[in-house]
Structures are given as C-alpha cells and as structure tokens.
Structure 1
Amino acid sequence: MIRFDDILDKIDYFPEKELALLKKAYVFAAQADQGQTRRSGEPYLSHPLEVAAFLAEMRMDPVTIAAGLLHDVLEDTPVTAAELHQAFGKEVTHLVEGVTKISRLQEASPETRHAESIRKIILAMTDDLRVIFIKLADRLHNLKTLKYLDEAKQRQVAQETLDIYAPLANRLGMGRIKAELEDLSFRYVDPESYFKIASLVEPLKKEAEKTLKKTKKIMASLMKDNQIPAEIQYRLKRLYSIYNKMKSRGISFEEVYDFMALRLITDTTSNCYQALGIIHENWPHMPHRFHDFIAMPKPNLYQSIHTTIIVGKKKTIEVQIRTRKMHELAENGIAAHWKYKDPGPPPDRGENLRLHWLREMVDLYQDHKSPKHFLYSLKSNLLPEDITVLTPKGERISLPLGASALDFAFKIHTEIGLHAAEARINSRRAPLKTILKSGDMVEIITKPDIYPSREWLNMAFTHAARHQIKRWLNQQKRQQNLILGRQLWQIEAQRHGWPTPPSASLLKLIAQLTNFRIKTAEDLFVLLGSGKLVFSSRLLHRLSQESRQKDKKKSIIKKMMPRLPRRPTSEIQISRADRPSLRLAKCCHPIKGEPIIGYLTSGHGITIHALRCPLVTREILNPDRIVEVSWAPNVRGPFTARLQITTEDKPGLLAQITTAIAQHKSDIKQVKASTFPDGKALISLLLIVKDYNHLQKIQQEINKLKEVISVIHR
C-alpha cells in the first residue's frame, strides 16, 4: 500500500503552503474513510492514495491532487458537499462533485449507463478538464484490484473501460494511461486471447530484451560520438496492442514488426532528424514502415518519427525519435498543459485542436436524446482518427480512416457541405464520394443550387456529415408535409365550415381527441401531411358534433371516381411525383392522365394509386385515409407501365411487338415471356412512357397484330 509520504516525495517541489492543502485533504479523507475496507481487505484509504499518487506522477497541480484524495468522500461517506466546501473551498468541491456525478450512474442499465456516463464526462470536461484526469486515475486503480470482484462485474468494468475510457484517453493524447487501461482490461474481456498472446510473447522476452539492450548501447555510443544528447529507452509491445494490431490488420504475430521498440529522446527537432540520419546510416531500414509524425502530427497532436530497422538475423526494431516536450505530450497528452508551474501559456492552437473533438461531442449530446443513438454516435467518434488531409491554405484537417471528400466538406463548414458539388484532390477533379488518404490536399467546389439528397448518405462516413445531411432532409420533408397538410386542411375546412387557419380552440379539441401534441396550426398541418393524423369518420363526427352514421356508406370505387371539384381547392393536384410527401405506388405504377386517388400513409405523406389498382378495386384501402387528387397539367414523366400480353405462340412475334413499341418511341425496361401447352404465350413488358395517352397508342399498335389475343395494363 502506498503511503502519503510517498506522494510527498513525488511533489517535493511544492511550496509549504500548497503542501498544507494536501496534508489537510489526506487527514480529511482518512477520517471520512475510517473503518472502511475494500474487497481486497486493504483499508479504503489505499484507493484515494493510489489515485493521488498517479496524479502526482503526472505532475498535476495541488488542487487536482487534493481532489484526487477526496474524490469519493461524497459518494461513499456521510460527508456532504456543504461540509467539503467549508473545509476546502469552491474549486476542490467542484472537482469532487464532477467525479461523483459520473460514478453515481453505475447502477443504470448497461446501455443507458454507458451513454449517460459519457454525457456526464463530456459536460464535466467542458467545465473543467481535471475531472477526467481524476476519473481516469480512479479507473486505473480500480482495474488493478479488479480480481477481487465477481466475474460478471469484472467483465462489465473492463468492457466499459475498453469502450469508453481507453479511447477517451487516446483522444486526449494520454498514451501512457491509455495503454495501461487497455492491458488491464484485456485479460477480463477476452481471457482466451489474452493468454494466447501472452504464450507467444513469453518465450521471446528474454532474447528480445537482450537484443534491445545491445542495440541501445550501440545507438547511445553513436549519438555520443555525434554530440547529440539522447536518452534511449526500450520496451516490448504491450499484449493488447499486439492483439489489436493482429485483429484489425488480419496479420500473424510474426508480422508485428514493432514488437521490439527503442525510444530516442533528444533536445531539439533538428537533432531528431540528425539522429534519424545516423540510424539509417548504420542499420538497414524498412521504407514502408517510415512515418514522420513531426511534420504531420496525428489528430491527437502526437509527434514523433517512426522508423523500423533490421538488426541481427532479420529481427526488426521500431525506433521512435522525439524531443522531450513531444515525449511528455505523448505520455500525458492534454494533461501536460496542466503541469504544475508549467512556464508560459499552453499552445492555444494545439489545445484547440485537441478539444475540437470535445466540442463535437457536446453537439452530439445536445442533438441526441436517446441513449442508444447517442452511444452509437459516441463510439464512432471515439475511434482514433487515422488520416490528416490539407486545405489549399495548408491547414491540417483530421478525419477517420474511410472518410470521403464529402466528409471533408462538412468538417470545414456545414454550409460548404450542404452545397458541395465536387472536389479537387491534389489539383485533380474528383467526385464527392472519393475516399481520402493522408497527405491529400482537398478543395471543395460549391454551387448555390446544389442540395443534399438521400444518396449522399451512401457517400458520407462520419457521423457529423451524416447527421447534417439527415437534418437537412428532415427539414425539407417537414416543409413538404406542411404544404400538403395545409392543402388537406383547406379541403376539410371547406367541407365542414371550419376556420382557415384553425382556431386555437379547434386545435385544442383536435389535440384532445387524437392525443397528439398540437400547439400551433403548423403542428397540425405537419401531422396531416405526413399521414400520421387523418380525419376518420369518428373524428369528424366528434369534431362536427353531428351524426354522420345515418348516411349510407358509399362504396370506395364510387367515392373515388374522378369528378370536377366544386372549388379549386377541393382536391390536391399532383405536380411532382418525387416530392417527399407524394409518391407513386409501386403496386400499380399510376400514369399521368389515368384516374387516380391519394392514400395517406402514416409517416410518408400521400401515396398515389390508379383506380385500376387491385387495392382499390377490392376495397382493401381504409376509406378514412383516402383523399381526392388529380394530375396537374404541368406534371412530367417518364412513367413506368406494365403490359400483360396474351398471344398465340408464334415464332418472331416478340420481335414484332418490340418493333411496334419502338415506333412510338418507348423504351422497354424489362421483358418476361412464358409459353403454355395449349399453344398460348404470355408476355410481360415493363415500359417507359410519357403519359397515359402515349401508353394507349402503344396498346392499340400491339392489338393490330393478328396473333395478339389481349393487351392488359396492370
């Protein structure tokens, strides 16, 4: 068990005044936790001491370390927030409350717990990032004592760590804690794979360490001879990192070329490149394994030069070369900016780049109310971003692997994404669906008359882009539903003498009768236009307060037969069949010019059916959802028509039929033919026609053939 004096040894640079704050926090925590023990049998105080020790190793400020000592007193002891505030003030209390809010969600359902936990984390981070530093330290020590919990709890905590906390640490550039969280969780989430990887590594450890020590000694001597100050460390790749690389890339253990690694830390960027040159002069290297993350940092601002050298009998060692500052950022990420008495202000641009992801997560939190949807979006955004592309001005933009030019457009600005027409990638024109690669220079060409369509969802990879596309499409659909719903209301209002627009009292009555939330006329029109609300006989009866049951019901066919409207607004004119709120039924493929009816389909507006449709002729459709519609004079095709032709089975007849169709400038989309023992044949054609008149001319032409028995429009 770590002692408080061990923590003091780590922070011997603190002035006495600030050491007093930590001593006070230690005494307070010891008194609050007195008599409590952990599942391991250790005093409960051991846990806050371990958390504080880790924060001290990260060289955090005194307030953060004090909050680490006190982080669970509000959750696990009778201490109140008021008492804590009185003893330590606002800042310490605020941090402890932030950690407590996250911890108290652990009893919820797994899905809700994950989503709500990360929501709390995000909100706490936007308020004070130190909350997540304490929470990560808390989670790290809990994982180290996970063996004392039951198996189900072990798996739950470990899986949550791999899903949320480790990727979160990675996003914040905290490589050291991310690696520890992954390794500690791995053995509980997938013990079979853990021990399999361990069995592969264990026999090689002794020889690998020998090789690393020998190479390190030679490299150190070379740096000294060339007057390059260098600290050289060595390591074997962690088990989870090996497992993840093998799984994600589909490679064998022998193909993990960075199993052994050396890290060379020097003083300046210039010396990093000089050291690289010396290393390449003395060892053969693998060109395809070279990465310059100093010139092109990773999205979480990680910087280092990576090269893989070959030593001995075809053994490979990855060498990482970086400055001391780069190393500190790689280990502790954004937490390095909170380092105690760090001279000078933090690099604003770098911190803003790291926190850009956090701001996107806040937007997700505001947009998604469902824990399931939020968690799905969250996981896709927690995944490490793997590519960096450039704007024409040289600005670096980070995107996930698999992102397209359209994703890039939305990353730059929503308006650019909504009006994107094409891309220029490395000065060459390219479609928006083009998948980007690291180092690409991308420019987006916009046009004011370009807007998203549903097909764009197939081109967008990132949640942010897809979310904006869906939002725009939903807004357009709402607008179309609003227009259609207003027309439907005007028809019913004329029939029943209701006011247009509807009065507040009428809206209230409709809301009460239908259980829909209707506050304004727009709410009502959108519900009508989408087909979610229809004026059924029962509803009309209640609204008009007069009996309509005495009238003999008309048959559906009679009700739908075309008739001249009494007023211009008594029916809806179909001017565009591709509007979101209007669509042509696929069961009958109605064609301009033939009699039609409209059918309100819940959530989809009006579906247009031909009167010849079997759903209409068999009186299958609900009469309450039928509306009168007609073709507007300006509606344009093309339309799809299916003809069923019964003929004598004669050679060459199909060719004669297709010739007759071609004479009337119609295209054949599909042909099916069947023959029967009685010498008859059945030909099914799917044609593209301009309107109903065009189709009738084609039917007449086919009927002229003497072998044709009948031509039926289906």
Structure 2
Amino acid sequence: MPEIAVKPINDDLEHPEEILLRELCGILHTYLDETQVNEVVRAYHYSAKAHLGQFRKSGEAYICHPVSVAITLAKMRMDAHGIMAALLHDVIEDTPISKQELSDQFSSEVAELVDGVTKLTRIDSRSRAEAQAENVRKMFLAMAKDLRVIIVKLADRLHNMQTMGNMPSEKKRRIAKETIEIYAPIANRLGMNDIRHQLESLGFKALYPNRYTVINNAVKKSRGNRKEIIDTIQNTIQTRLKDTGLECTVAGREKNIASIYHKMLIKKISFTDVFDVYAFRIYCQKVDDCYRALGCVHNLYKPIPGRFKDYIALPKANGYQSLHTILIGPYGMPIEIQIRTHEMHRMSESGIAAHWLYKSDKDKSETIQARVNEWLRDLLEIQKSAGDSLEFIDNLKVDLFPQEVFVFTPKGKIIKLPRGASIVDFAYMVHTDVGNSCISARIDKKMVPLQTKLENGMCIDVTTAAWARPNPLWLNYVITAKARSCIRAHLKNFKQQEAITLGRRLLEAELETINLQLDDIDNSRILQVLQLLKKHSLADLLEDIGLGNKMPFLVAKYIAQTDPNSAAKLNDRDPSSSGKPLIIKGTEGIVVNLAKCCRPIPGDPIIGFFNPGKGIVVHRHECCNSNDARKKQTSWLDVEWSSEATGEYSAEIRIELHNQRGSLATIASTISSMESNIENINVVSQDSRVSVDLLTLAVRDRSHLANIIRKLKKLNIVLKITRIKA
C-alpha cells in the first residue's frame, strides 16, 4: 500500500481520524522502516472498514479510539505488530471479524495480541463482578504469553479514561474504581510510572470529582506562594553540586492530586501539611555520581534519620531504581529528594515498555523483563489453584499493593516480600514445597513462631518435614497471594481426599447390613448407579457422601436395586439405624467436625448429623440440636468414639464463685495443676459478692474433665460448677 503522505492540509477540512493517522505516521517514521509503516497503515484501513458506521458516545467515528491508543504506544516506540494490534484491538469484540480472519489477513502474532486484549463475550448467568474478574484473568493468561498484551490494554484504558466525559456517572465510577484497583497498580508493577500517574489522576477525578476540584484549586492557589521557595532551594542545590564538580540536573517535582489525597488519607494530615513538603529530583550521569550527590545534599541540609532508602542497590520489584532521602530545609521545611541517573529515569517512566523503547540498554531491559516474568510465573501458579475468577482477583489485589521488606536465606539470597509478611509467606516465596512442609523457623539463629512478621535484614532458616502439611490457621496471618492460594489449594484437595475416605466408610457400613461389599460389586452395577445419580466417577459419588450431599442409606438403596435380593433386605430395615456405628477419633479435621454448641469429648454418648457440603457434625446425645436432627431420619447416623481417641478437646463449664481478689488466679492454677489449659474466659455476670464465668478448657476426655470439676469443687471460693450441655 502506498505511503500516506505527510503534508500540510487544512485541518478543518479533514476528518478527526485522518488527522490522528497523520500524527501516528509522523511518529512511526522516526523509528520504523517504510515497509513496517505501510503495514500499520494497512491495519488502520482494515480496522476503519470493520468499524464503519460505529460511533463513540461523543459522536466521533469509533476508529478514532484505536488510532489514539496506537499513538500512545508509538510515543513509547512500540514495535509494528504492537501498533497493529492497537489499531485492531476492538475488531474481534465489536465486529463480525474472527481471530482466524485476522491471522490470515496479517499474522498469527497480531491475531494473538488482539485476542489477548479482547474481553470475553457471551458470559452467561454471571454477575458483572464475575464477568470483569474473568476478563482480567484471561488478560493475564494472554499477558504471560506476550507482555505487549498488557501494554496495549493499559494504553486502551488510558484513552478510555481520557474520554469518559459523556458516560453516565455510575458507569464512570465503576470504570474508575476498576482502573485504580487493577490497572494503575499493574502499570506500577510493570514500572510504567508515567501511565500509572495518569491513570491514578483520571481515576481519582472520575471517582471523587468534588474532592479533585477542591484539591486542584488548593494546589493552584498555593503554587504562586511556593515558586520563590522552590527556586531558592533548587538554585542552592544546583550551585552546591556544581561546586563539587558534579554534572547533575535539578528539577522541582510536583505531586499529582491523587497522591496528595492518598497521603492526606493515610497519614491523616491536612492539605497544608502535605503541600508544605518540597520535592526535587536530581539527574546524574553515572551511578557513582548519585551517591556523591547524596553526600552533597546531606552536607547542605540535615537528613531526617530513618528516612533514607537505597533503591539503586536494592531495586523495587518493578525494577525502579533511585535514592530517596528527606532533609530539613530552610525554615524547618521538609525536602524530599530523589537521585537517579538519566537512564534510571527513562526506565522509571517507561518500565517494561523500555524493552522495546531502548534496545541499546539491553542489560536493564532484560533485568526488568526477568522481574516481570518472575511475577507472571507466580501469578500463573496462583490462577491455577484459585477456585474462581473472583478469588484470583482478590489474590491479584493483594499482590499488586506491596510495600516491600528485604530478607535473606541462609545462603545469602535476597527475598522480597510485602511489609507485614510472615515466615510462612517467606517459605512459600522460596518454594511451594518448602511452604507446604514447613514446621518451624529460626530468625538470626533464634527459634521463633511461624506467624512472626518479617523486617528488613532478617536471615530466615526454615525447617521442613516430609510429614508436615499446611495448617488452616495459617490463612489468618499469611498476606502474599502465592501463600494464600497454595494453602487454599492444599486444603481443598485434602478435604476432597478426606471426604472420599469418609464416604467410602459410610457406604460400606450401609452395604454391610445387606451382606454386600463395595469392592465385590460389579462395575456394571456401579455404572448404573453413577448414571442414575449423574456422577462421573465412584470417587465423585463417595466425595458427595462424605460431604453430606448424598445420604449413604439412599446410595446403598440405589446399589441394592440392581439386585432384587439385596433390595428386599434393605427395604425391611429402618433407614435411621445402621448395623454398626461409625467410629470416629475426633481429629479427622475438615469433614468430621465436633459441634461447638455442646462440645463433645471422648467418653460422651454422641450422634452424627449430616451437614450438606461440610460433612458430619458430631453432637452429644443431650444436645437440643441433636433432638432436632433425629427428626430427619436419613440425616443422622450413630457414631461412637474410638478407644484410640487422643489429643485435646474443648469443653465448656459454668462456674459460680466468690468475687474476691485472686479468685480467678486460684481457679487458673488449679486447672493448670490438673494438666489442663484455659482456652477462653467469659464473665457472664458479676456483682460485689458473686461472679458467674464461662470457662473453655482443653481436656483429654470425659474422665479428665470430671477430675478437674471434682478438684475445683473442693475450693472454698467455688459455689457451683456445671458443664454446659448446649
């Protein structure tokens, strides 16, 4: 296709899309060859034809949007295929053209990029939140194959945010919220600070228009008063650097409105306190110059202790490098200074886009690429174990807002973690298997609990064991997305296996009453039952029984119906009675639960009740809830404690005692002397004479509890003591 001539034309006579195309071609000619520019123009004409007759809310032709997105990417010096994908990014979604047609017309590379940016369509019976979550999940999978997908998507979102003027306010707020929560943090994670700041500002403006206006007016009002002070400080720093023989550029830096508001909100300070901080950047030629410049400014103004950060030696996860320091300037004003090389500044503004933008800086772009790829690998692992798209989005949000700490493995490797991360987070960051099997840890050679929060510079040594498994309680204190998703995935799988084992025991107990063995039943009979109950496999059926979704008596009945003799025996039997009670130890875990209303312990007469989706809940016979359960004949079963039941179980007692100084201490020491522990104390009522308390104790069995109660009754301060029944 012939080249589009770039010549002066009266813009008033041209269509807006033609003006935009000329601008695009003008930028492309600065870094692409003629053939590539012609391919881009061909993609433009193909897209324009596909979108013919489509218009945006503003009334302009729809093709203006993809061309504007392409211009943003051209300014980043995106390669030709990336620009073509930007021009075609809405073709699959909004026109009848398919991915295969794009592949035939251009290339499979361009088609894959367009498909990655395209939203999922025809999502049936889902909420908007689920649909949006699924779109983001799909985008990340495409992004893992080719990072240009997310760069095109960010440019697309930026132009959408810039042109939201004609949208309904509710839709504006929804898009702005998604931009602030997902897309701006992704841009930050990829090191694309220029795009991030624009997305944050536009998102804040759409989400909080009044707050934006108030802060914007306050900034304009204060700007005049600040100019003289900024110029004075800037000239002073520049002069000191020049006298030292450093060739550096000093520039004032103004915070954007979104970051001013965020700082006011987080630190609970007024606009004046935020805007009184004067910010500067110093751009140097070499890394050595950055540290020399730091010495100069620390000589010039006093640094605030603990407010210096070296992101050159320890870059952020997105590859960002700079020295940060805060000084006390003239009149006691705080001065924020960032010191970096010109190359670091380019990387800071463009991030992963620098992979295409600055081909000469191979080492730097490859480092950023490696960091992003490592992040994407973790995300892919998270998405594989996430239950659904909403869970993936929750994990993603956790991952997108890190304030990092740097810790060390025993071999000296640096591991980056979000602030507030625990040892379990560290273990999963080292490797999934290390996290799954960790049992203890040492920090700087001292034993510490696994929930210990990490701080900069710690050296962590994790001990693992082959038999160890993740603990559900870890979910209360892990904060990294990888740790949470790995623990959830393991627990989900563990619950499934446990439910299958329990389901087999329950079904075999029922079949035994009619002289049948599950292993002896023909496959054809099992297949008939699976077909009837719409199950894919015997494991699925057993899992459903173990989780209480299918009653074992009814499944046994279906199996028996395939044999008339067995069916007759089963029909004669009372469905609420089994040949043998189910033996439990009380430590089965997820699918056999001890009821918290009556807290059964070994030695108590007990009954099991099926709780759909959760398994069996074990109650004491005396519990009022067990009486309700018995009315549903097929929902309960006889259970019995195993003679091998070991461990500690919770039991609750009600105790009335004289309200005098030291009475609770006496109770506690007595309980401790009986080899028990108080898990919880709740004061029910109290006056000047009597205190009524509920105590939850950890006991081995019924005999252990009886001995504790006898011992307590002998105390003079105890008036009455009883065990809570329900």
Instruction: Provide TM-score, normalisation by structure 2.
Output: 0.81
Q: After TM superposition, give the deviation of residue 550 of structure 1 in Å.
A: 8.1
Tell me if the contact between 1:171 and 1:300 (Cα under 8 Å) persists in the aligned partners: yes
Tell me if the contact between 2:326 and 2:336 (Cα under 8 Å) persists in the aligned partners: yes
Q: 1:523 aligns with which of 531, 540, 558?
A: 540
Residues 481 and 275 of structure 1: CA distance in aligned 2, closer, same or farther (over 3 Å): same
Percent identity over paired residues:
35
The one-letter amino acid paired with 2:73 is L
Q: After TM superposition, give the deviation of residue 402 of structure 1 in Å.
A: 1.8
| 1:402-551 map, 5 Å | 402-501=420-519, 502-515=521-534, 517-520=535-538, 522-536=539-553, 540=557, 543-544=560-561, 546=567
Partner of 1:99: 117
In 1, the alpha carbon distance for the partners of 2:704 and 2:224 equals 85
Q: After TM superposition, give the deviation of residue 594 of structure 1 in Å.
A: 5.4
* 2:316 matches 1:316: no
Q: After TM superposition, give the deviation of residue 129 of structure 1 in Å.
A: 1.1
Most deviating of 303-312 and 539-548:
539-548
In 1, the alpha carbon distance for the partners of 2:427 and 2:204 equals 37
Q: 1:282 aligns with which of 297, 300, 319?
A: 300
Most deviating of 61-70 and 138-147:
61-70
2:479 partner SS: coil
Residues 665 and 43 of structure 1: CA distance in aligned 2, closer, same or farther (over 3 Å): closer
2:118 partner SS: helix
Q: After TM superposition, give the deviation of residue 172 of structure 1 in Å.
A: 0.8
The one-letter amino acid paired with 1:317 is I
Q: After TM superposition, give the deviation of residue 273 of structure 1 in Å.
A: 0.6
Residues 469 and 683 of structure 1: CA distance in aligned 2, closer, same or farther (over 3 Å): closer
Q: After TM superposition, give the deviation of residue 630 of structure 1 in Å.
A: 3.5
Superposed CA deviations along residues 56-106 of structure 1, whole A, max 9, x for unmatched, are 221222332233334334445566656644553333333333333469989
1:634 partner SS: coil
In 2, the alpha carbon distance for the partners of 1:3 and 1:340 equals 25
Superposed CA deviations along residues 633-686 of structure 1, whole A, max 9, x for unmatched, are 33346666778999xx9xxxx99xx9xx99x968696899999xxxxxx99998
Tell me if the contact between 1:257 and 1:308 (Cα under 8 Å) persists in the aligned partners: no
The one-letter amino acid paired with 1:505 is S
In 2, the alpha carbon distance for the partners of 1:704 and 1:64 equals 83
In 2, the alpha carbon distance for the partners of 1:216 and 1:674 equals 68
In 2, the alpha carbon distance for the partners of 1:42 and 1:91 equals 30
* 2:289 matches 1:271: yes
* 2:16 matches 1:6: no
In 2, the alpha carbon distance for the partners of 1:349 and 1:289 equals 27
Tell me if the contact between 1:298 and 1:388 (Cα under 8 Å) persists in the aligned partners: no
Residues 227 and 63 of structure 1: CA distance in aligned 2, closer, same or farther (over 3 Å): farther
* 2:316 matches 1:298: yes
Q: 1:373 aligns with which of 391, 394, 401?
A: 391
Tell me if the contact between 2:277 and 2:333 (Cα under 8 Å) persists in the aligned partners: no
2:77 partner SS: coil
* 2:645 matches 1:635: yes
1:451 partner SS: coil
In 2, the alpha carbon distance for the partners of 1:20 and 1:685 equals 81
Partner of 1:678: none
In 2, the alpha carbon distance for the partners of 1:103 and 1:538 equals 40
* 2:75 matches 1:57: yes
Most deviating of 522-531 and 685-694:
685-694
User: Larger Cα Rg: Structure 1 or Structure 2?
Assistant: 1
1:59 partner SS: coil
Tell me if the contact between 2:386 and 2:485 (Cα under 8 Å) persists in the aligned partners: no
Partner of 1:572: 582
In 1, the alpha carbon distance for the partners of 2:144 and 2:723 equals 68
Tell me if the contact between 1:414 and 1:468 (Cα under 8 Å) persists in the aligned partners: yes
Tell me if the contact between 1:105 and 1:116 (Cα under 8 Å) persists in the aligned partners: no
2:269 partner SS: coil
Q: After TM superposition, give the deviation of residue 161 of structure 1 in Å.
A: 1.2
Most deviating of 326-335 and 461-470:
461-470
Partner of 1:248: 266
Superposed CA deviations along residues 522-552 of structure 1, whole A, max 9, x for unmatched, are 3333333333321346973784454679859
In 1, the alpha carbon distance for the partners of 2:721 and 2:214 equals 72
In 1, the alpha carbon distance for the partners of 2:328 and 2:646 equals 69
Q: 2:253 aligns with which of 192, 210, 235?
A: 235
Q: After TM superposition, give the deviation of residue 493 of structure 1 in Å.
A: 1.9
Q: Unaligned regions of 5+ residues in structure 2, if any?
A: 1-15, 687-691
Q: After TM superposition, give the deviation of residue 620 of structure 1 in Å.
A: 3.6
Most deviating of 178-187 and 307-316:
307-316
In 1, the alpha carbon distance for the partners of 2:461 and 2:152 equals 42
Residues 687 and 368 of structure 1: CA distance in aligned 2, closer, same or farther (over 3 Å): closer
Residues 665 and 485 of structure 1: CA distance in aligned 2, closer, same or farther (over 3 Å): same
In 2, the alpha carbon distance for the partners of 1:267 and 1:101 equals 44
Residues 22 and 293 of structure 1: CA distance in aligned 2, closer, same or farther (over 3 Å): same
Superposed CA deviations along residues 92-132 of structure 1, whole A, max 9, x for unmatched, are 33333333346998998430232022112112211211122
Tell me if the contact between 1:478 and 1:526 (Cα under 8 Å) persists in the aligned partners: yes
Q: After TM superposition, give the deviation of residue 579 of structure 1 in Å.
A: 4.3
In 2, the alpha carbon distance for the partners of 1:415 and 1:178 equals 35
Tell me if the contact between 1:170 and 1:384 (Cα under 8 Å) persists in the aligned partners: no
Partner of 1:622: 632
Alignment RMSD: 4.4
Most deviating of 394-403 and 8-17:
8-17
Partner of 2:136: 118
